[in-house]
Amino acid sequence: MSSQDVVPSDSYLKTACNNRVGALLQANQMFLTKRQGSNDIVSCINYDSSATIVLREQRVVSPEQTVRSMVSGAGGGTNYVAALNAVNVLLKSLSSTGYVVAVYFMTDGENTDDHAPTLAGSLASQYSSLG
């Protein structure tokens, strides 16, 4: 982490992950706070060299608690393909209907797999009817 990196100001996130990931999570928390009271459903995929779905179709009751459930230790690596494959799994398994699907891809590092742009384009085409 360089001296120019952004870090979270939220006290919990400073303790849990005082780095770019924490700053991304804080931005996510601010977004969810703005959306609180809507009928939004949230899913979250955390990834490094592999990807894990940590939230699946949850209503946002508390933005702080939702973001806290997203905090996990990163093992290193930034494999966009692993994350995009998990997005595909998640989109295929959606049980709720009647809402617009939006995928926000947030990262704190550079991609480690050259196939990611092709896969992202393929997913956008495959699921264009969801947005």
Domain-located, residue 46: yes
27-63 pLDDT tens trace: 999 999 998 888 888 889 988 888 999 888 888 889 9
Domain-located, residue 18: no
Domain that holds residue 95: 37-130
pTM value is 0.82
**Residue 110's pLDDT is what?**
87
Domain-located, residue 117: yes
Scan for tokens 């006290």, then name that residue.
11
Q: How would you classify residue 98: left for phi > 0, otherwise alpha for psi between -120 and 50, otherwise beta? A: left
Domain-located, residue 1: no
**Residue 77's pLDDT is what?**
78
Q: Is residue 26 over pLDDT 60? A: yes
Contact 58, 68 (CB under 8 A): no
Contact 14, 22 (CB under 8 A): yes
**Residue 130's pLDDT is what?**
75
Domain-located, residue 111: yes
User: Based on the structure, what is the number of domains in the chain?
Assistant: 1
**Strands of the chain, DSSP E:** 41-47, 51-59
**Residue 5's pLDDT is what?**
82
Domain-located, residue 30: no
70-120 pLDDT tens trace: 887 656 778 999 999 999 999 988 876 677 788 888 888 888 889 999 999
Euclidean distance between CA atoms 21 and 29, whole angstroms = 12
Domain-located, residue 102: yes
